[in-house]
Amino acid sequence: MLIKKSSPWEIPYSEITPQSVYLSRRRFLTRTVAAGAALAAGRAVLPGWLSPTGAQAGTKLTGVTKSSYGTDEKITPYEHVTNYNNFYEFGTDKEQPAKLAKDFKTSPWTVAVEGEVAKPAVYDLDTILKLAPLEERIYRHRCVEAWSIVVPWIGFPLHALVKMVEPTAKAKFVAFQTLFDPKQMPVARHAGIPFPYVEGLRMDEAMHPLAILCVGMYGETLPNQNGAPFRLVVPWKYGFKSIKSIVKIRFQEKQPPATWNLATPNEYGFYSNVNPDVDHPRWSQKSERRLGEFLKRKTLPFNGYASQVSQLYAGMDLRKNY
Ligand code: MTE
């Protein structure tokens, strides 16, 4: 990422964690009470199997099942996860997306599925959401900038969508693309990276049960700054693989381009698996700071998901394929 300070270790704690850290508990309680009041007042509440496409960010999702996948680590307070974001279409400062994505139009929303599939189509989110029941997955999320969060995402396995569209034998990779609308994203022109934001996965990565397509978090539809209404979450990779606000999914034979790899190929590879043994050219990846915490913790290979995913990379030199 284009970090203005020379390394994340030099960012003062007060900047990484807004002063809300000491207020967060009180705000969280206020929010919970407010959510309860909204429910009592009949504000929109969606069963998990219904689409939130007509819903605003922050609409309660009900009927979401708890998944057996995920960590039981302490969840990062909502305030941190929604006020310290990377979403370069809405600014390069971490606090900007929460403010500048406020009026981002996320409804109606369609996703074009193209390329090497038997069923190419433009699907609306309602159709996609009927594919599989929504699950809550509490995942560690490790940003390449050496901070991390633990988030209760709501979504369904990416493989459910892959199976629905019936990839042909030629489909070796899946490419993803974010909406790019300069009218809604006027600050994007200062971001210094190409848009639309694009990402990709190898087919076997896309089929892995840990990879999810995500429509919500903390019991509600996604806030705009976190990638509403529909994003990817791949927990064993650095956060930049988890592309937000997806409008296109393309199945193809060739490895697709990935935004950060295009922007600075010597710093960001295609695979982007969390690897404490491969430093970023400008900083170490050995440890990370969890937002809201003071002490750093050790970064784990594949972000702690090695036992589930390392076999995908058997025989590969992960120092070269970073
Ligand atoms: N997707 C788009 N479209 N644009 C972005 O700038 N940033 C990535 C990823 N997805 C980004 C994106 C990076 S660098 C990270 S760390 C995560 O989103 C951050 O997700 P979060 O804001 O939900 O924590």
- Tokens 């995920």 label which residue? 70
CB contact at 8 A, 80 and 95 = no
Residue 135 included in any domain: yes
Atom of ligand 1 nearest to the CA of 145: 16
Residue 204 included in any domain: yes
The response to whether residue 199 sits with its C-beta less than 6 Å from ligand 1 reads no
Reduce the DSSP state of residue 60 to 3 states and report it. strand
CATH number at residue 234: 3.90.420.10
What does the angle CA 146 – CA 74 – CA 6 come to, to the nearest 5 degrees?
15
What is the pLDDT confidence band of residue 147, given thresholds at 50, 70 and 90?
very high
Residue 10 included in any domain: no
Q: What is the pLDDT of residue 70?
A: 86
Cα–Cα distance, 69 to 209 (Å, whole number): 9
Note the pLDDT tens digit of each residue in 154-176: 999 999 999 999 999 999 999 99
Residue 322 included in any domain: no
Cα–Cα distance, 159 to 164 (Å, whole number): 8
Residue 21 included in any domain: yes
What does the angle CA 225 – CA 258 – CA 81 come to, to the nearest 5 degrees?
25
Note the pLDDT tens digit of each residue in 11-66: 332 333 332 332 333 333 333 333 333 333 333 444 443 444 445 778 899 889 99
Range of weakest confidence among 48-57, 198-207, 224-233: 48-57
Q: What is the pLDDT of residue 23?
A: 33
- Distance, CA 237 to ligand 1 centroid (Å)? 12
The response to whether residue 86 sits with its C-beta less than 6 Å from ligand 1 reads yes
Note the pLDDT tens digit of each residue in 259-310: 999 999 999 999 999 999 999 999 999 999 999 999 999 999 999 999 999 9
Atom of ligand 1 nearest to the CA of 143: 16
Cα–Cα distance, 54 to 162 (Å, whole number): 24
The response to whether residue 148 sits with its C-beta less than 6 Å from ligand 1 reads no
Residue 321 included in any domain: no
Atom of ligand 1 nearest to the CA of 1: 14
Of 210, 234, 235, the closest CA to residue 300 belongs to: 235
Phi, psi dihedral angles at 157 (to 5 degrees): -60, 135
- At 244, list the tokens: 């937000």
Q: Which of 1, 3, 144, 240 to mutate to test the pocket of ligand 1 (most atoms within 8 A of CB)?
A: 240
Query: End-to-end distance of the chain based on CA atoms, in angstroms?
Result: 15
Of 187, 192, 228, the closest CA to residue 91 belongs to: 187
Atom of ligand 1 nearest to the CA of 238: 16
Residue 232 included in any domain: yes
Domain that holds residue 121: 17-313
Q: Which residues does 226 contact at the CB level (< 8 Å), separation at least 6?
A: 81, 82, 85, 87, 217, 244
Render the burial of 210-221: b for 16+ CB within 10 Å, e for the rest: bbbbbbbbbbbb
The response to whether residue 243 sits with its C-beta less than 6 Å from ligand 1 reads yes
Cα–Cα distance, 322 to 310 (Å, whole number): 13
The secondary structure of 146-213 as a DSSP string is SEEEEEEEEEEEHHHHHHHH-B-TT--EEEEEE---TTT-GGGGGS-S-SS-EEEEEHHHHTSTT-EE
CB contact at 8 A, 206 and 175 = no
Residue 320 included in any domain: no
Domain total in the chain: 1
